[in-house]
Amino acid sequence: MMVVVFAIDALEHELVEEFDCKNLKQVTYGKTDISEFNQPRTMVLWSSFMTGENKEEEILAKGDEEMWKTKIPLEETFFSNFENPKIIDLPGFSYDRKQHDKERELLKKFFEEAEDQEEKKEIRKEYNQHGLKHHRKIKEEFLNSLEKDHDFVLGYFSAADVIGHLNFGNKTLMKMIYNDLDEIAGKIKEIRDDHLLVLSDHGMEGVGMFGDHNEYGFWSFDEECDLENPKITDFADFLTSLK
Ligand SMILES: [Zn+2]
């Protein structure tokens, strides 16, 4: 028996509905309640998820740059309740720093340094390609891990967030990303007939052409369960109980 978590940054509930992503919705789905947090920050939310505790104060105290270096020890996370967990690219745990530093560097270049539309167009292109290449790599690693001898596998996918920040107003591109995520959820079910939680840290709302984090996340589960408007800190116990 394996417990699988498909962790998606910034998966937006309204777009899952609009694009009717059936595999992402599963049997039960809804929004998560992240109102206990002052800001919907990626590093804060995933750190709180894996420890089952609100880590906002601790993570924000590190400052905007340092927080990305956070590496929470296995024994402080609920992953340690499993025998052989595999955690792919999760912020605060097994995050590919080089990849994500580059994303933030390109974003900064786009918003603060580009001098004209032509330059912005080039940066956006490089940024999108960089994000999508990483997405394909993680997808392969995640699906391969489902065939191995793990009792817990979590794959973290940043594309909806990364691409969304610069392109949320581009419905065609966002639909392509959501369709691909939906296809991955379908493949997970083909490979494993086990429990699957789909979880996002926060959603996203449009700001002109761009996207910004909003005040609720997304969750879905493969069968009826008693989670109702869950907090992101509720999943540590929930997932452990599935063992
Ligand atoms: Zn995020």
**Would you say 181 and 157 are in contact if contact means Cβ atoms under 8 Å apart?**
yes
Tokens 């909003």 sit on residue:
214
Q: What is the pLDDT of residues 219-228, one digit of tens each?
A: 999 999 989 8
Q: Report, as an integer, the average pLDDT of 90-103.
A: 94
Ligand 1: centre distance to CA 9 (Å): 5
Alpha-carbon span 204 to 13, nearest angstrom: 9
Residue percentage of the chain with pLDDT more than 70: 100
Give the pair of three-digit tokens for residue 49: 């998820």
Q: Report, as an integer, the average pLDDT of 108-137.
A: 96
Assess whether pLDDT exceeds 90 at residue 1.
no
Ligand 1: centre distance to CA 203 (Å): 8
Ligand 1: centre distance to CA 188 (Å): 22
Residue 228 pLDDT: 87
Ligand 1: centre distance to CA 223 (Å): 26
Ligand 1: centre distance to CA 10 (Å): 5
Mean pLDDT computed over every residue of the chain: 97
Ligand 1: centre distance to CA 42 (Å): 4
Ligand 1: centre distance to CA 31 (Å): 15
pLDDT band at 40 (very low <50, low <70, confident <90, very high): very high
Residue percentage of the chain with pLDDT more than 90: 97
Alpha-carbon span 237 to 102, nearest angstrom: 34
CATH class of 3-240: alpha beta
Q: Report, as an integer, the average pLDDT of 157-176.
A: 97
Q: Report, as an integer, the average pLDDT of 29-53.
A: 98
Q: Report, as an integer, the average pLDDT of 21-35.
A: 98
Domain ranges of the chain: 3-240
Ligand 1: centre distance to CA 213 (Å): 7
Specify the DSSP element, H or E, that contains 44. helix 42-51
Give the pair of three-digit tokens for residue 122: 């080039």
Q: SS in 3 state form for 142-205?
A: HHHHCCCCCCEEEEEECHHHHHHHHHCCCHHHHHHHHHHHHHHHHHHHHHCCCEEEEEECCCEE
Ligand 1: centre distance to CA 186 (Å): 23
Q: What is the pLDDT of residues 172-214, one digit of tens each?
A: 999 999 999 999 999 999 999 999 999 999 999 999 999 999 9
Ligand 1: centre distance to CA 41 (Å): 6
pTM above 0.75, yes or no: yes
